[in-house]
Structure 1
Amino acid sequence: MRRTFFYPLRHLAAAAAIGFAAVTGGPAMAQTAPGASEAAAYTGLHAAAQKGDVAKIERLAATRADLNTRDGNGRTPIHVAAFAKQRDAIRALARAGADINLLDKDRYDGVTIASVADDEETLRVLLASGASAKLVTSRYDGTALIAAAHLGHDGVVKQLIAAGAPLDHVNNLHWTAAIESIVLSNGGPRHQESLRALIAAGANLQLSDRQGNTPLQLAKSRGYREMVQMLEQAGAR
């Protein structure tokens, strides 16, 4: 099934407040996995990555095939393997010398792909294979950490923090990971845990959105009592 990543429609009001009219999404703003017909048409390293065929990857690498070859959406075999959760393929490609940090046409890397999918094991393999948690990705000039905080993928958030992801990166919506864990959340347990992890790691809680609202003010305005409490305990204003 084709998987896309958009800022959720339920957050249109929040986005409108900052003038981001394009939040409803479109093909250029999506993180898009290969569709079934696209995957079926793959050949070479893309097909091997999609299927997790390590032996074929090793054979092709031995013939000096282009390990970073791209499909029509700019996906390398690493991207394809990340979408397909083919972890052994990721390991094989990395061992053979593939560039594990390239971005596809929509500016996503393997780390962000796994983070958005809440795929902690694939993320663990990517990071262990040398992938960076520090890249600026997506049309929002964000990071994998911002995307994970937005979605409340708390385990992913913790992995990315441990891997040195920038805690205070500000995307082109003028939001940090801490802000997105609030303004693009439902205030539930996984978003709370994501925010808690960011606080414990030392995220700057005084950085504000374009209107000058801090994470504490944003949590108060949404009635997220648990988030308000943890921010106040951390000394946020």
Structure 2
Amino acid sequence: MNGLELHKAAANDDVAAIERLLSQGARVDARDANGRTALLVATHDNKVNAARALIEAGADVNAKDDIKDSPYLYAGARGRLEILKMTLDHGADLKSTNRYGGTALIPASERGHVEAVSMLIDAGVDVDHVNNLGWTALLEAVILSDGGPRHVEIVKRLIDAGASLGIADSDGVTALEHAQRRGYTEMVKLLEQTSSAGHNPLPPEL
């Protein structure tokens, strides 16, 4: 059975074809030339019906491709909310990391996916995980954002979830300092209020 037929059916959101191919012996986690499973293909294209059919057939939500993306990690990073929820309900490895050493929460925060951030926080992803760049979700929500409303809301939700304000980047610069340097007034206000209220305190030297 050609596994690539399953990938094509996933890309086309063709549930009938997926079910037929699986019943004929197609391996649900067969890989293409890039190491992607059919579920990861469905996740890339946000094909919710195909993803549901594959997950219900036992597809591995944590199966990584050649660049260390998995259906769970990609759904979180790209804000594919319906698929993300399905992966969380079917054994997503909350500690799994992408090629940058980051959890799903970090790119979700960077890209401004507010609801995905909330889902991942609620699921129990470590809000203070540090990736290979030396950044947490909070740092990325400041450093790689435009300071707009979505990222302000993400900063708020990360703070509410207990994110530490004291974790600095590899140069020793905190989220508050990055926000100040960029003139992100609303973020600065949130971070300063949290610090002055005694929650997630900044290091003494700040």
Could you say whether these structures have the same fold, taking a TM-score greater than 0.5 normalized by the shorter chain as the test? yes
Does residue 110 of the first structure (1) align with residue 90 of the second (2)? no
Is the 8 Å Cα contact of residues 52 and 88 (structure 1) preserved in structure 2?
A: yes
Does residue 205 of the first structure (1) align with residue 165 of the second (2)? yes
Alignment CA distance shift 1:99-1:118 (3 Å) = closer
**Partner residue in 2 for 1:141:** 101
From 1, 6, 25, the equivalent of 1:64 is 25
CA–CA separation in structure 2 for the residues paired with 1:201 and 1:85: 28
CA–CA separation in structure 2 for the residues paired with 1:145 and 1:198: 10
**Partner residue in 2 for 1:126:** 87
Question: CA offsets, 1:115-143, max 9 Å, x none?
Answer: 333332332233234333431112x1112
1:112-191 equivalent positions in 2, closer than 5 A: 112-138=73-99, 140-191=100-151
Is the 8 Å Cα contact of residues 90 and 126 (structure 1) preserved in structure 2?
A: no
CA–CA separation in structure 2 for the residues paired with 1:85 and 1:129: 17
CA–CA separation in structure 2 for the residues paired with 1:105 and 1:128: 25
Does residue 234 of the first structure (1) align with residue 194 of the second (2)? yes
CA–CA separation in structure 1 for the residues paired with 2:8 and 2:91: 23
Aligned residues: 195
Deviation, 1:221, is 1.7
Question: CA offsets, 1:8-55, max 9 Å, x none?
Answer: xxxxxxxxxxxxxxxxxxxxxxxxxxxxxxxxxx84211111112222
From 218, 222, 225, the equivalent of 2:178 is 218
From 37, 49, 52, the equivalent of 2:10 is 49
CA–CA separation in structure 2 for the residues paired with 1:179 and 1:92: 37
CA–CA separation in structure 2 for the residues paired with 1:94 and 1:152: 27
**TM-score for both structures, normalised by structure 1:** 0.77
CA–CA separation in structure 2 for the residues paired with 1:211 and 1:43: 46
**Partner residue in 1 for 2:59:** 98
Deviation, 1:103, is 1.0
CA–CA separation in structure 2 for the residues paired with 1:64 and 1:141: 35
Deviation, 1:104, is 1.0
| Corresponding residue SS for 2:63 | coil
Identity of aligned residues (%): 46
Question: CA offsets, 1:165-212, max 9 Å, x none?
Answer: 121111111000000000111111111111111000111211111111
| Larger displacement relative to structure 2 (58-67 or 156-165) | 58-67
CA–CA separation in structure 2 for the residues paired with 1:86 and 1:96: 16
Deviation, 1:96, is 1.4
Structure 2, gaps ≥5 residues long? 196-200
| Corresponding residue SS for 2:96 | coil
| Larger displacement relative to structure 2 (108-117 or 161-170) | 108-117
The letter for the 1-side match of 2:173 is N
CA–CA separation in structure 2 for the residues paired with 1:170 and 1:43: 36
Deviation, 1:111, is 2.5
TM-align CA RMSD: 1.7
Alignment CA distance shift 1:121-1:95 (3 Å) = closer
**TM-score for both structures, normalised by structure 2:** 0.87
Is the 8 Å Cα contact of residues 133 and 165 (structure 1) preserved in structure 2?
A: yes
CA–CA separation in structure 2 for the residues paired with 1:65 and 1:119: 26
